[in-house]
Structure 1
Amino acid sequence: MKNILFTLFLGIVAIQAQEADHLSMTLKFQDSTLLIDARYESSSIGDSDSAYFLLNPGYELDTIVSKGLKSYTVTQKKGSPLPFYHLEFDKEVAGQKTLLVDFRYQINLSEQNHMKSNWIELNADKLWFPNRNNLNNELTYEVSISNFPESYHLITHSDAVITKWDNQITISKTDPWYEVMILAGDSMKEWEFDDNITVIGSTDIDESTFRSIGLKVKHSIDILNAYFGKSDPINDFKVVLRNSSRSELGLGYQFNRRDLIVTGVDFDSYGNLSHEIAHFWWNKADFIKEPWMNESFANWGMYQVLRKYDKEEYEKVIASDIEIGETAMPVADASLFAPDAYGSYYCKGTVLLLRLEEKIGADAMQKLLSDCVEKNINSTEGFLSELELLTGKEVRSYFENLLKS
């Protein structure tokens, strides 16, 4: 028995000691072309003689180089619509302690990243950097940039370290995350709404627009700090306004990176801004397996803001979410890549939270959600366990059945 426990202990220590993947990149801007050399380092290839990497196949690939690499092809993995590079290795390479893969490729920024709008956007959604296995694989990174356009304002993760000298910029992030993020716009300024909120946008934007967005962000943060954030409040916050319009972006999406949101002047409303801000508390869940834990809970935060500041929009949003949710698939089955799942994990899940609030009361609902924040609950099972702890098995069973319906 002691030997078994000791073996289990060694296994746990080994798992804890395993380092996150690391990505080293050199980027060279050459007019509207970005030249990239990337080295991906993973702690182990395991017993497999192959590996999958995400990387946009639309980029011009020069080489992929790795010890024992026999071939690579673009393919799809089961259960994912994304394109992967499938790397096959000599069998004697399987089991090596460290996997090193070098990628060399280039991106036409005028076609891929809105350079025509004086805006560069390199993030996970564009699959612009190599990442092993899937979108939610976390890594550390160090990026060295040369010939960065002098008139462009560089924006990245708030916890990344930026070092500049001569014509060289280095960005490093030691806390693992699932992307390298580089945003940049031409002729931009930082506008201080107050000591805690900074809005970054083009110098062409009217001050009234900065002020309008800043005020909505402040009101939203105040509401959500009071509702969710007793143990995890927002302090400093940044809002980045793209130089690209909604029509130029196509889908016109926004996104959140904890204490930073990326949006545009086209999204100056409480609904748009508060949803992205609410992700601050709900972005730790697995967004591929349980996207409702991200999107429905962020929508719930948006509901709280709209209840206070835009009741007419609140009623419209609820009516729309109910209508969409009526024909949506069960929330429990709605992974990110499930067909037609958006209406389920985005709308239906939020309506189910409304039904739960009706059953247990507004005070109990707020306590439930703030307890989840305090305990860092980021899974459906964790949420159901907290619900049972607060309200009992009968309510847990009620809500669990709703998720499956």
Structure 2
Amino acid sequence: MNTRLFVLAAALTVPLLPMRSAGREAPPHYDLTLVLQPAEKRIQVTGTIRLTDVRGSGAFTLYLHKGLSFRTFEIDGIPVDPGPAGPSDIQFMPAAFKYDVSSPPQAEGFAERILGFSYDGALDERPEWLANIVSETWVEIGNYFPWYPVCPGLGPFTYKVTVSAPSPYRVYAPGTETRTGGRFVFESNRPTKDVVVCASADLRVQRFRVDGNDFSLASFSLDSETIRALVRDVDDVYRTLGRWYGRIEQPLALVESKREKGGGYSRPGGLFLPGFTRTPYLDNRLGYRRYLAHEIAHGWWNLADASTWHDWLNESFAEYTALRYLRETAGTGEFRKRIESYARESEGLPPLWELDRDSEAAYEALYRKGPVLLHRLEERLGTDRFISLCRTVLEQRAGRTEDFFVILKAAAGEETAFWFENLLRTL
């Protein structure tokens, strides 16, 4: 797989929206009914969003694909005009409109609020690099291509989505799957950050166990030998990273995407990866294992806001985790070759400190320079202290660079913290 694919994959892997603080008793919940018409690139949606712990004036900002038009919109049963649509101001939602919605006075001041809506339209406008698509042969829609109302700042949510698609399409989404009346029903009771729905006529879904967790594999081209190898590799990555950072207990899904562009990305409990038909898994198993390790690492490294320069706490740590995994499984020679290559590719890139996340250089800086700097930090601390530092960062949910440096200073002293801050600021 080529370098550019890996770079773009890294850019697309983490949450678009900042996480809310932990401790919410009842997360927001989406209940969506989706009708897919792949040949026409059209969808119809009805649904609700249950918001909890909502008080005050109740103004909401929503993002929805610009090809979709609201038919109805209400708050707590009261019809509301969602207002004029404006251009998206979120980098990874370029095909969206932004809606600023105000609650009617009758709906203000309640601890829980229900947003109800219906809309339809065509999802046929997208940049080539976007990792969502609707076509007759493949459907893959999530919040990059916002087919459901995306609410910035909402935080992790649960969902139920009921999908109708023409025969012989097979539909898949992460979560518990049931069938009712010929429709596919998926429920996620674990808070997540996206609702990704995939469909094709030749999609096959198989279920396994990895590191004690349920693992679903949705694929269309993989043979039995490849599937056995892939499942073993996913299991090994989970066990290794769990040994380093603490075991994660959550179901996992891997979807083989038919997209040729857009790279791979991850969501809590789900990986969406293209490219298997261009480069067979067994022909480049080492490269795929690094790829899988990076994506799976986001099960841990997902605390920072991906739209800011603090994203190095997601992407650089995830990629360095993948390189460390190769060092453990393929040897120091492979690790050294890659880290030296990353160092050469980092020359001339801007510093990570206050990096412009929207710049063209951001991908390479986060994905190449960041791991090189983390390698220097591991060399200075030693492996055991570095892993201990990582565990503390994760346990304390450090999602901003200043939080990271508080932890680093406590763990390694002011001199080391100053030294590493200087690397982030100047190299």
Structure 1 and Structure 2 fold alike (TM over 0.5): yes
Aligned to 2:147: 128
Cα 1:87–1:103 shift into 2, 3 Å: farther
Cα 1:300–1:29 shift into 2, 3 Å: same
How many angstroms apart in 2 are the aligned matches of 1:81 and 1:122?
12
2:244 aligned with 1:227, yes or no?
yes
Answer 1 or 2: higher relative contact order, Cα 8 Å, separation at least 6: 2
Superposed CA deviations along residues 281-331 of structure 1, whole A, max 9, x for unmatched, are 212333233211111111111111211334555344323422343333332
Q: How far did 1:195 drift? A: 7.6
Q: Given the alignment, which residue of 34, 40, 45 partners 1:27?
A: 34
Q: Is the 8 A contact 2:38 2:136 kept in 1?
A: no
Superposed CA deviations along residues 93-143 of structure 1, whole A, max 9, x for unmatched, are 7956447352412345899635443x3212222222111236x74333332
How many angstroms apart in 2 are the aligned matches of 1:183 and 1:369?
34
Mapping for residues 390-405 of structure 1, pairs under 5 Å? 390-405=411-426
Q: How far did 1:30 drift? A: 4.2
Q: Is the 8 A contact 1:199 1:210 kept in 2?
A: no
Q: Is the 8 A contact 1:46 1:94 kept in 2?
A: no
Cα 1:278–1:79 shift into 2, 3 Å: closer
Whose Rg is larger?
1
SS at match of 1:385: helix
Residue identity in the other structure for 2:83: S
The farther-off stretch of 37-46 and 392-401 is 37-46
Aligned to 1:271: 290
Q: Is the 8 A contact 1:275 1:298 kept in 2?
A: yes
How many angstroms apart in 1 are the aligned matches of 2:69 and 2:182?
26
Q: Given the alignment, which residue of 83, 91, 98 partners 1:71?
A: 83
Cα 1:150–1:339 shift into 2, 3 Å: same
Cα 1:20–1:192 shift into 2, 3 Å: closer
Q: Is the 8 A contact 2:210 2:234 kept in 1?
A: no
Q: Given the alignment, which residue of 233, 239, 249 partners 2:260?
A: 249
Q: How far did 1:353 drift? A: 0.7
2:363 aligned with 1:342, yes or no?
yes
Aligned to 2:204: 188
Aligned to 1:383: 404
Q: Is the 8 A contact 1:74 1:84 kept in 2?
A: yes
TM-score (norm: length of structure 2): 0.74
Aligned Cα root-mean-square deviation (Å): 3.7
Cα 1:89–1:271 shift into 2, 3 Å: closer
Mapping for residues 2-401 of structure 1, pairs under 5 Å? 20-30=27-37, 32=39, 33-42=42-51, 44=54, 46-47=56-57, 51-57=60-66, 59-63=67-71, 65-66=73-74, 67-69=79-81, 71-77=83-89, 82=94, 83-87=96-100, 95=108, 97=110, 98=113, 100=115, 102-108=117-123, 113-117=133-137, 119-133=138-152, 137-147=155-165, 149=167, 152-157=170-175, 161-185=176-200, 186-190=202-206, 192=208, 196=212, 198=215, 200-202=217-219, 204-229=221-246, 232-233=247-248, 237-242=252-257, 244=258, 248-251=259-262, 253-264=263-274, 265=276, 266=279, 268=285, 269-289=288-308, 290-311=310-331, 313-334=334-355, 336-337=357-358, 340-401=361-422
SS at match of 1:333: coil
Cα 1:404–1:22 shift into 2, 3 Å: same
SS at match of 1:329: coil
Q: Is the 8 A contact 1:297 1:350 kept in 2?
A: yes
TM-score (norm: length of structure 1): 0.77
Residue identity in the other structure for 1:225: G
SS at match of 2:296: helix
Percent of residue pairs identical: 22
Structure 1: gaps of 5 or more residues:
1-14
SS at match of 1:143: strand
Cα 1:110–1:209 shift into 2, 3 Å: farther
Aligned to 2:129: none
How many angstroms apart in 2 are the aligned matches of 1:166 and 1:91?
37
How many angstroms apart in 2 are the aligned matches of 1:259 and 1:73?
32
